[in-house]
């Protein structure tokens, strides 16, 4: 079958009896073209089946009006909320968002950066994988001077534009709260320390233990991907010991729900015998039984901040000499998984 020939701007120009340059300006809503002419051209374009080639236009103008975004997994509730806030803010500024997920693979992450650069994005937003250690693909020379903003999971010991949550405070608040509920053996189930957020939450956990003169016990601390299977295995290890924990601070809500499941199956009363806290305050924490104490990260604030920062960098690249680092707040949401009674 013969391939149908693609309709071009020249075809539209012939249809409406105008020059190619006038048609091009009409299609791009140039202010010097009348609304009547724009409508005439756009109706002809629709009639002929013309498809706008955004990449070709970007190559001609060096302005794609598109921002690239790379996240670990779009399915994460926190990431989904941040992405929504970023997209909404960029849309009001006339920019589109191109979203890819790295699936926690540093190799795929590098490939996606190169792909986005090839599509002429004007800015790049990244929340890194759990295991990213080589950040050279994000260097100014590697991305051709395109501004890069990291958020949430950011490079450790590398100067960059970034927006992070106050993870240290979150780790500290959870641990302090558990100590104030009378807990002395507080287990900490965390993600890999190659990831910035887990390193900071661990530091907050340690600081609270130190403040209350509770020794840090390596046997109570676990580092792994925070899925159900890994968390259940960590719980098995914890409760094989003679001295069992009286609290578990899990570094995400998926892990906290797995802890509740382990407790239920093994006849451990929560919160009477074991107090449990998660992190991220996703919707499941309010409908579980008991409801789970967690840390609100205000993803909409982070998303709006990320979008504003990337736009500022795009429009003021010549004036931007120093790297910007911003921190969004967190708040401990206390629920029945750490209180015998909410009035406690």
Distance CA 207, CA 193 (A): 17
Distance CA 250, CA 256 (A): 5
- CA distances (Å), 319 to each of 138, 313, 315, 316, in order? 20, 9, 9, 5
- Does the pTM exceed 0.85? no
**247 bridge partner residues:** 186, 275
Percent above pLDDT 90 for the chain: 75
Domains of the chain and any CATH numbers: 9-52 (no CATH), 65-165+299-329 (3.40.50.2300), 167-297 (3.40.50.2300)
As a 3-state breakdown, the chain gives helix, strand, coil percent values, each rounded to 5, of 45, 15, 40
- Residue 291 CB contacts under 8 Å (≥ 6 apart), including other chains: 285, 335, 336, 337
Question: pLDDT of 188-236, one tens digit each?
Answer: 999 999 999 999 999 999 999 999 999 999 999 999 999 999 999 999 9
Question: pLDDT of 173-188, one tens digit each?
Answer: 999 999 999 999 999 9
């Amino acid at each position: 079958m013969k391939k149908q020939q693609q309709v071009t701007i020249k075809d539209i120009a012939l249809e409406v009896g105008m020059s190619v340059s006038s048609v091009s300006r009409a299609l791009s809503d140039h202010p010097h073209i009348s609304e009547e002419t724009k409508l005439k051209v756009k109706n002809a374009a629709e009639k002929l089946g013309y498809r706008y080639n955004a990449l070709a236009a970007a190559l001609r103008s060096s302005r794609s009006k598109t921002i690239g975004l790379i996240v670990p997994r779009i399915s994460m509730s926190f990431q989904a909320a941040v992405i929504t806030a970023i997209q909404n803010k960029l849309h009001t500024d006339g920019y589109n968002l191109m979203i890819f997920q790295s699936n926690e693979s540093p190799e795929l992450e590098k490939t996606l950066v190169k792909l986005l650069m090839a599509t002429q994005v004007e800015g790049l937003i990244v929340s890194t994988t759990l295991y990213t250690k080589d950040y050279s693909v994000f260097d100014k020379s590697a991305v051709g001077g395109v501004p890069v903003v990291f958020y949430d999971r950011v490079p450790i010991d590398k100067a960059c534009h970034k927006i992070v949550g106050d993870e240290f405070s979150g780790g500290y608040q959870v641990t302090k709260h558990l100590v104030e509920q009378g807990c002395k053996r507080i287990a900490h189930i965390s993600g890999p320390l190659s990831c910035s957020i887990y390193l900071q939450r661990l530091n907050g956990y340690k600081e609270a233990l130190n403040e209350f003169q509770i020794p840090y016990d390596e046997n109570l601390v676990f580092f792994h991907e925070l899925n159900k299977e890994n968390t259940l295995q960590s719980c098995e290890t914890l409760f094989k010991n003679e001295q069992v924990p009286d609290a578990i601070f899990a570094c995400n809500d998926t892990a906290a729900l797995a802890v509740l499941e382990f407790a239920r199956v093994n006849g451990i009363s929560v919160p009477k015998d074991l107090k449990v806290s998660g992190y991220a305050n996703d919707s499941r924490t309010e409908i579980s039984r008991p409801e789970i104490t967690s840390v609100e990260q205000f993803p909409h604030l982070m998303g709006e901040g990320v979008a504003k920062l990337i736009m500022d960098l795009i429009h003021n690249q010549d004036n931007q000499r120093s790297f910007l680092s911003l921190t969004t707040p967190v708040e401990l949401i206390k629920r029945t998984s750490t209180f015998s009674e909410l009035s406690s």
